[in-house]
Structure 1
Amino acid sequence: MSDYRQSSPIGRVQLAELTRRVIAADPDVRLEVLDAMTGAVLGDTPRCTPADVATAAARARAAQPAWAARPVADRAAVLLRFHDLVLQRQDEVLDLIQRENGKARRHAFEEIMDVCMVSRYYAHTAADYLKPERRQGAQLALTQVWELHHPKGLVGVISPWNYPLTLGISDALPAIVAGNAVLTKPDQQTPFAALWAVRLLEEAGLPAGLVQVVTGSGAELGSAIIEQSDFLMFTGSTAVGRTVAAQAGRQLIDCSMELGGKNALLILDDADVDKAVDGCVRACFSNTGQLCISIERIYVPATMWDEFTSRFAAAARSMKLSPALDYSADMGSLINQRQLETVTRHVGDATAKGARVLAGGQPRPELGPFFYEPTILTDVRPDMMVYAQETFGPLVSLYRVDSEEEAIERANDSEYGLNFSVWTGDPARGRRVAAQLQAGTVNVNDAYAAAWGSIDAPMGGMKASGIGRRHGEHGILKYTEAQTIAVERLLPVGNPSRVNPARYARAMTFALRALRRLPGVK
């Protein structure tokens, strides 16, 4: 453990410097942040209060008008410089992400990729999305109409611990380039990666104070953030999401939320078994299974059952677990004791009721306090917790099916619909099956990254897995207020005062029938 601790260039002094940008009336009241790999104290942050949230919001709002007045190209340039700084300084934040969250470095690097792709995408597309658009007028050539998009003002972002950098800053990037200020609260267990990102944004040219970070618990600060915001972006559990949506509704502000999932993977009977096994390892055990879009249910054709299950179990057993701050580990640690207890409870409940463990099933305390083996269950029944509840750990259940139709039906038999996956040798068949699945994203012959990394397309959940979308035009326009400006020329819309109403109605009836037949008229 000592070699691991000494290998990181991020020390307590650097972490203390990051927390100095947090507004706190009493900076001596602190919250400890644990190193997920060891359970030791990594650092601490101020324990902000609702009054601190109000102060931070006021400072962000004060900086917002001047930022919104700058050309979109200037705002986009900041995102591109930020993109370059993240790549240049990635080793700093990779160490931070691993130590805050416990994930393997290969999975931490996915956060670097995400932040850079989001920065680049919105830097290059924001001007197009935000420019005034001509719309068809009520009286065609006589009515000139424009659609404008103004920044909301102050965007609140509440993010979880499982992707400290990605979820700590990526949702803020389109809000920033759209001209908003941001008030963000990272999870109290993983505050440092988000603070690091804000520091880099300011180095890239973002005005100081435009993005404010408050640190503390969601229970203490969440309501205050919602009260201060003009829009809220929330990522977290469905249970908390329902409360957040109700609070936002009372404030009459819009919100976008990515929530829980019990994601399904379907292996079709023409799939390549080797590719499916590799894909399932990635789908189930990336980020130690602490991934909203990871897979917790796999449906396997009866004709492939024996071959697939034996190969998948062997692949899981061969994975290397390690706390190393390098790329040698296949999987890292869970974040805390609570997550370890959840995984242990789900496995214990299932095995006590007759489920079989094909691989894993045990904690690994010799590696670190929160390590748990990648685990595969079969013979899982509806009376077991793991059947329908989200585990959020390295645990997956396998189910035998006799047909494609059965697999689709069982995959859709869930209150959740976030991210599903289909494996097949026929991409056209994969698309057809994917279109029948009730999930916001479906990856064909990929675990999750194909849809997530396609920033030009919307990403979000159906059913109890969320509302709204990130990425693409949805991911930036949601942070704006749409405004319609209509300029009428010559004749007013409606019955002119000097025209007999009955004659006007007859004339308009004739005109509407004519327009119905005119190509190109909406």
Structure 2
Amino acid sequence: MATRLRPAGSALRQTATLRSQRICSRPVNGVRCLTSGTYRVPKPFNEPNLEFAPNSPERTKLSRALEELRAQLPVKVPAIGGKNAQVSANQSLTSMVMPAEHKSSFQEFASASKEDVNKAIESALKAKKTWQEMPFTDRASIFLRAADLVSGKYRFQLLAATMLGQGKNAWQAEIDAAAELADFYRYNVGFAQEIYDKQPTVNAQSHHGRTDWRPLEGFVYAVSPFNFTAIGGNLVSAPALMGNVVVWKPAPMNAYASHLVHQILLEAGLPEGVIQIVHGDAETITNTVFDHREFSALAFIGSSDVFRSLNVKAAQGLAEKRYRDFPRMMGETSGKNFHLLHPSADVVNAAKHTVRASFEYAGQKCSACSRIYIPESRADEFFTQIKKELARVKVGPPEDYQSFTGPVINKKAFDRITAAIDSANADSKLEKVVGGTYDSSTGWYIDPTIYKTSNPDHELFDKELFGPVLVAYVYPDAEFEKTLDIVDKQGGGFALTGNIFSNDQQAVRLAEDKLRYAAGNFYINCKITAAVIGQQSFGGSRMSGTCDKAGSAGLMQRFTAPRTLKEEYNKLDEVLYPSNL
């Protein structure tokens, strides 16, 4: 368990560490800060993963949590969150079904009006002054406390909500809603300390320079996707830890899990208003936010097309001189990510990693592998091995612990992906290796599907499907270096994740160099869905986003407006310089 931080204040902000504290001249949140000292946050750590093996205590607890949540369905989510927020009896609600069982409604959420959104923004701005003046050590305590609530008291509730609402199996829910969410809270506290520690290291005699890491002057708008409960927790915690206030709009399919995350933060001591969670129509909420003078930053994870449109909308606001600030635009978006095998690769290892990278959570990860490049001399061996591994993979509901691949998120996704599969099945330029089948009788299930081709220009190498479909190019062994150019050129303009499997170090180095801009996260001899906070920060460039790297101080620094200060202790004796004499 993380060590608790004692609320405290400090003296003047003369160094980065002293910036974290101050002696309060007036009460902060009703508490007078009279202790002093140079406080530092505890060292972060990665939350250990539970494994849910048969007859394990965690499997029993999770099964009980799933039963309890099912008994409450459909869960109801208020339009705007808060400690006492509830859905009114006369409110119109939007229903979202379970991906694995589309005849059953999982959640019903109320939608915020334009007036509701404006009230949420004003409530956040009202909370801003007290929040940004709260000593960092106190803000840190709230999120460290939340990390322990996530990994302890609410762990199985979060997993159950993520499994039923988003269609994840137990392991995928565990690494997301429990471990990664707790990691984000703990490591973000450490990253904030790292930023505050950045101070000038050189001062002239009798001079003192320092940096005030101010929060942004307005509010941050956070937009989180359906596929990771932890992502929303990061998008709001990163700016809030730096003293910002946030208006948070989660994806509709993730409304209840996000609502639960927000309630945990409030229980951990987050003051009302600092993070305002708002549900409803995306256009209504976003237009209201982008019309507001105090809009200072966007923290976005979702599709590349949507992020592009939001950049245009912000530019229009700037052209009209609508904002006080130039809004910061931070986004992590789409990917058409690759695995690459060199002729020296360990094919068995590569096949196992590819199954996980391509078909975990039905390929609904922005980092998932959807294109692969295989040398001709190893292709038969690779496809034989991957068929062997896929024969052990079960497609089924999340509550069945044997299920490896679950459903896709909704009918819209199912229809889009299966239309592409139908087209591929009829395409003479593609050869189906496995799959190409699907079933929507009870849930939105698509079988792991692989096509291979000798045509490196096929559209599937550029088209993002966000589902369990992998396309393979079999290349001549002698054309490995040429294939690197193909890998770099393809991918729909995205550059999120990629790798190489090779036991030839020269080939590894060549791939690293030639594919330097093809992926923001590059892996060697392991799958590309492997980023762990504190070990690898995450984010891509090109049309995959702004490469601000979630899980790093870099992202958090984007939510600051640093002010430099200089103080002189000596007196100026003469106006003229020696050269003037």
Interval containing the TM-score (normalised by the shorter chain): 0.7 to 0.9
Q: Distance in 1 between matches of 2:366 and 2:544?
A: 9
Q: Distance in 2 between matches of 1:327 and 1:191?
A: 24
Query: With structure 1 as the length reference, what TM-score do the two structures score?
Result: 0.87
Provide, for residues 480-503 of structure 1, a one-character-per-residue CA deviation record: whole Å limited to 9, x for no partner: 1111223457698xxx96358xx4
**Alignment correspondent of 1:484:** 564
Does residue 155 (structure 1) correspond to residue 220 (structure 2)? The answer is yes
Map 1:78-157 to 2 at 5 A.
78-88=142-152, 89-111=154-176, 112-131=178-197, 133-134=199-200, 136=202, 140-141=204-205, 144-152=208-216, 153-157=218-222
- Residue 184 of structure 1 deviates from its aligned partner by 0.5
Equivalent in 358, 363, 369 of residue 284 of structure 1 = 358
**Aligned-partner SS, 1:397:** strand
- Residue 203 of structure 1 deviates from its aligned partner by 1.1
Provide, for residues 425-457 of structure 1, a one-character-per-residue CA deviation record: whole Å limited to 9, x for no partner: 35675355234322111111222344x214365
Does residue 275 (structure 1) correspond to residue 314 (structure 2)? The answer is no
Provide, for residues 203-254 of structure 1, a one-character-per-residue CA deviation record: whole Å limited to 9, x for no partner: 1111122211111132232232344432110111111111111223334201
Residues 45-54 or 218-227, more deviating: 218-227
**Aligned-partner SS, 2:108:** strand
| Preserved CA contact (<8 Å) 1:18 1:192 | no
**Alignment correspondent of 1:510:** none
Does residue 305 (structure 1) correspond to residue 379 (structure 2)? The answer is yes
**Alignment correspondent of 2:24:** none
Runs of 4 or more consecutive aligned structure 1 residues displaced over 4 Å after TM superposition: 4-7, 17-20, 22-27, 140-143, 380-385, 426-429, 488-492
Residues 118-127 or 178-187, more deviating: 118-127
Does residue 321 (structure 1) correspond to residue 383 (structure 2)? The answer is no
Does residue 182 (structure 1) correspond to residue 246 (structure 2)? The answer is yes
**Aligned-partner SS, 2:298:** strand
Q: Distance in 1 between matches of 2:504 and 2:449?
A: 29
Amino acid aligned to 1:318? R
Are the structure 2 counterparts of residues 497 and 467 from structure 1 closer, same or farther at C-alpha, using a change threshold of 3 Å?
same
Percent of aligned positions that are identical: 23
Does residue 465 (structure 1) correspond to residue 528 (structure 2)? The answer is no
- Residue 45 of structure 1 deviates from its aligned partner by 0.8
**Alignment correspondent of 1:241:** 307
Amino acid aligned to 1:123? V
Does residue 296 (structure 1) correspond to residue 296 (structure 2)? The answer is no
Aligned residues: 492
Residues 404-413 or 329-338, more deviating: 404-413
- Residue 343 of structure 1 deviates from its aligned partner by 1.4
**Alignment correspondent of 1:35:** 98
**Aligned-partner SS, 2:445:** coil
Does residue 44 (structure 1) correspond to residue 104 (structure 2)? The answer is no
Residues 6-15 or 292-301, more deviating: 6-15
- Residue 458 of structure 1 deviates from its aligned partner by 3.8
Map 1:498-509 to 2 at 5 A.
498-499=576-577, 503=579
**Structure 1 alignment gaps of length 5 or more:** 508-522
**Alignment correspondent of 1:194:** 258
Are the structure 2 counterparts of residues 314 and 7 from structure 1 closer, same or farther at C-alpha, using a change threshold of 3 Å?
same
**Aligned-partner SS, 2:401:** coil
Map 1:381-460 to 2 at 5 A.
381=455, 384-401=458-475, 402=477, 403-414=479-490, 415-426=493-504, 429-430=507-508, 432-437=510-515, 438-450=518-530, 452-455=531-534, 457-460=536-539
| Preserved CA contact (<8 Å) 2:101 2:443 | yes
**Aligned-partner SS, 1:134:** coil
**Aligned-partner SS, 1:191:** helix
**Structure 2 alignment gaps of length 5 or more:** 1-62, 319-325
Q: Distance in 2 between matches of 1:307 and 1:383?
A: 24
Q: Distance in 2 between matches of 1:202 and 1:124?
A: 21
**Alignment correspondent of 1:514:** none
**Aligned-partner SS, 1:171:** helix
**Aligned-partner SS, 1:82:** helix
| Preserved CA contact (<8 Å) 1:83 1:119 | yes
| Preserved CA contact (<8 Å) 2:417 2:465 | yes
Provide, for residues 52-77 of structure 1, a one-character-per-residue CA deviation record: whole Å limited to 9, x for no partner: 21111111121222222222122112
- Residue 409 of structure 1 deviates from its aligned partner by 1.1
**Aligned-partner SS, 1:107:** helix
Map 1:67-86 to 2 at 5 A.
67-86=131-150
Amino acid aligned to 1:91? F
- Residue 127 of structure 1 deviates from its aligned partner by 2.1
Q: Distance in 1 between matches of 2:150 and 2:179?
A: 9
Q: Distance in 1 between matches of 2:207 and 2:513?
A: 40
Are the structure 2 counterparts of residues 432 and 51 from structure 1 closer, same or farther at C-alpha, using a change threshold of 3 Å?
farther
| Preserved CA contact (<8 Å) 1:422 1:443 | yes
Equivalent in 2, 5, 9 of residue 68 of structure 2 = 9
Amino acid aligned to 2:160? D
- Residue 161 of structure 1 deviates from its aligned partner by 1.1
Residues 110-119 or 311-320, more deviating: 311-320
Provide, for residues 286-342 of structure 1, a one-character-per-residue CA deviation record: whole Å limited to 9, x for no partner: 221011111111011112111001211332243101114253211110011111112
Equivalent in 339, 343, 347 of residue 421 of structure 2 = 347
**Alignment correspondent of 2:288:** 224
Residues 121-130 or 194-203, more deviating: 121-130
**Aligned-partner SS, 1:260:** coil
| Preserved CA contact (<8 Å) 2:247 2:275 | yes
Are the structure 2 counterparts of residues 5 and 454 from structure 1 closer, same or farther at C-alpha, using a change threshold of 3 Å?
closer
Amino acid aligned to 2:196? L
**Alignment correspondent of 1:215:** 279
Provide, for residues 30-51 of structure 1, a one-character-per-residue CA deviation record: whole Å limited to 9, x for no partner: 2112211111211211111222
| Preserved CA contact (<8 Å) 1:156 1:226 | no
Amino acid aligned to 2:119? T
**Aligned-partner SS, 2:373:** strand
**Aligned-partner SS, 2:444:** coil
**Aligned-partner SS, 1:476:** helix
Q: Distance in 2 between matches of 1:7 and 1:476?
A: 35
Are the structure 2 counterparts of residues 259 and 285 from structure 1 closer, same or farther at C-alpha, using a change threshold of 3 Å?
same
**Alignment correspondent of 2:19:** none
Q: Distance in 2 between matches of 1:462 and 1:17?
A: 35
Q: Distance in 1 between matches of 2:434 and 2:111?
A: 41
Residues 223-232 or 74-83, more deviating: 223-232
Q: Distance in 2 between matches of 1:193 and 1:411?
A: 37
Q: Distance in 2 between matches of 1:24 and 1:17?
A: 7
Does residue 378 (structure 1) correspond to residue 452 (structure 2)? The answer is yes
| Preserved CA contact (<8 Å) 1:270 1:425 | yes
| Preserved CA contact (<8 Å) 2:394 2:403 | yes
| Preserved CA contact (<8 Å) 2:161 2:256 | yes
| Preserved CA contact (<8 Å) 1:266 1:300 | yes
Q: Give me the CA root mean square deviation.
A: 2.8
Query: With structure 2 as the length reference, what TM-score do the two structures score?
Result: 0.79
| Preserved CA contact (<8 Å) 1:313 1:376 | no
Are the structure 2 counterparts of residues 311 and 135 from structure 1 closer, same or farther at C-alpha, using a change threshold of 3 Å?
same
Residues 194-203 or 226-235, more deviating: 226-235
| Preserved CA contact (<8 Å) 2:519 2:540 | yes
Q: Distance in 2 between matches of 1:325 and 1:298?
A: 31
